[in-house]
Structure 1
């Protein structure tokens, strides 16, 4: 009976090690698509911005992509930008700023080896 339980535990242990090794191999594989540039327009989202930025970082980490985050904001959104700065500092990443979205980037163009994603949190105009 003890021998059977030991064998079952050994099999479970080896299976867990195999899954862990395959996952590490997947994470270490370079992404052929390069990196992604994120343009974020926060528009006074102090209550939601932390969850949004964390979800974005988590998604890109699990996809194995490196990224840069550029915040498009003016002075009225200072509190939202401060929250984003704090989160990116914890992640060990730099943050860049723009005062307006460049017209050639508004469509979410894909150029060269990287893509640009525009995340617009402004309220839709009616």
Structure 2
């Protein structure tokens, strides 16, 4: 009888500790920061793109931001695009595409802070 009561008390104690830990984790999360537009230029990064997109989604979802991903890629990057599409579908999100990099994108990205530019072209060099 005493063993059963001790087991019940132990279970209640562990459950209370779990609830307390989850509550502390919830309090430590930053406030929701709204919406962010992401412009991604993958440039044939099929080997690395999954980790990059997963980390981006994890960061934005942790911060409570909703976001829209626009991928700038041509038809030669079909494998990279397929990977991105699968990852975004798992998140329940759609991806939009641009067929070519706009000529003044770097200048606009520096002056206009309404979107974040992730340019992976430089890592190939």
- Alignment TM class, shorter chain as reference: 0.7 to 0.9
Q: Which residue of 1 aligns with 2:119?
A: 120
- Length, aligned pairs only: 120
Q: For 1:108 and 1:44, how far apart are their aligned partners in 2?
A: 27
Maintained 8 Å contact 1:88/1:95: yes
Larger radius of gyration: 2
Alpha carbons of structure 1 residues 23 and 65: separation in structure 2 relative to 1, 3 Å: same
Maintained 8 Å contact 2:34/2:64: no
Alignment of 1:1-126 (within 5 A): 2=3, 7-23=9-25, 31=32, 33-98=33-98, 99-101=100-102, 103=105, 105-107=108-110, 109-111=112-114, 116-123=115-122
Q: Quote the offset at 1:105 in angstroms.
A: 3.6
Q: For 2:119 and 2:34, how far apart are their aligned partners in 1?
A: 23
Maintained 8 Å contact 1:108/1:117: no
State TM-score, norm by structure 1. Answer: 0.74
Q: For 2:123 and 2:91, how far apart are their aligned partners in 1?
A: 31
Q: Which runs of 5+ in 2 are unaligned?
A: none
